[in-house]
Amino acid sequence: MPQLEFHTFVPQLVWLAITFGFLYLMMARVALPRIANVLEERRDRIADDLDQAEQFKRQTDEAIAAYEKALADARANAHEIAQATRDKLNEETERQRKSIEARLAEKIAAAEKQIAATKEKALGNVRAVAIEVADAVVTELLGSADRAAAERAVDGELK
């Protein structure tokens, strides 16, 4: 085997050094800078992606905050509208209730007047009928009657 012959060992080491040096120079001058550039570009792209992700996160947080504020404002506005509507309906209901109560009070007063007038008329008729009946009974029993005495007796009983 020629690798193990010691008289060719020195030239093999020289060629090894020359080949290693050439490969080292090629790697140092060509391949490693390209790899370094690729790694740098990759690192830059990752950093840009992280920056962009952070920016998107900030924008998302701002959008969420704006949404929550708008939602809170909408809820407050809806609450105010509902309260205003309740107040308006309560006022309208109260106004209608008072109007109905006033109309009912007028109708009750008119009905009471009509009842009082009807009662007076009925009592007036009762008085006349009672006087006639008392006069007829006294005439039937006694033969003669005093109309003024019958009127006084009926008036005394009606009061």
Q: What is the mean pLDDT of residues 57-67?
A: 97
- pLDDT tens across 4-40, in order? 777 888 888 899 999 999 999 999 999 999 999 999 9
Whether 158 has a pLDDT exceeding 80, the answer reads no
Chain centre to alpha carbon of residue 137: 82
3-state secondary structure of 1: coil
Stronger pLDDT, 60 or 139, i.e. the higher one: 60
Chain centre to alpha carbon of residue 98: 30
Mean pLDDT of the residues in the chain:
90
What does the DSSP assignment read for 78-134?
Answer: HHHHHHHHHHHHHHHHHHHHHHHHHHHHHHHHHHHHHHHHHHHHHHHHHHHHHHHHH
What percent of the chain stands above pLDDT 90? 65
pTM, whole model, 2 decimals? 0.46
Q: How confident is the model at residue 1 (pLDDT cuts 50, 70, 90)?
A: low
What is the dihedral sign for C-alpha 99, 103, 106, 109? negative
Q: How confident is the model at residue 2 (pLDDT cuts 50, 70, 90)?
A: low
- pLDDT tens across 78-131, in order? 999 999 999 999 999 999 999 999 999 999 999 999 999 988 888 777 878 888
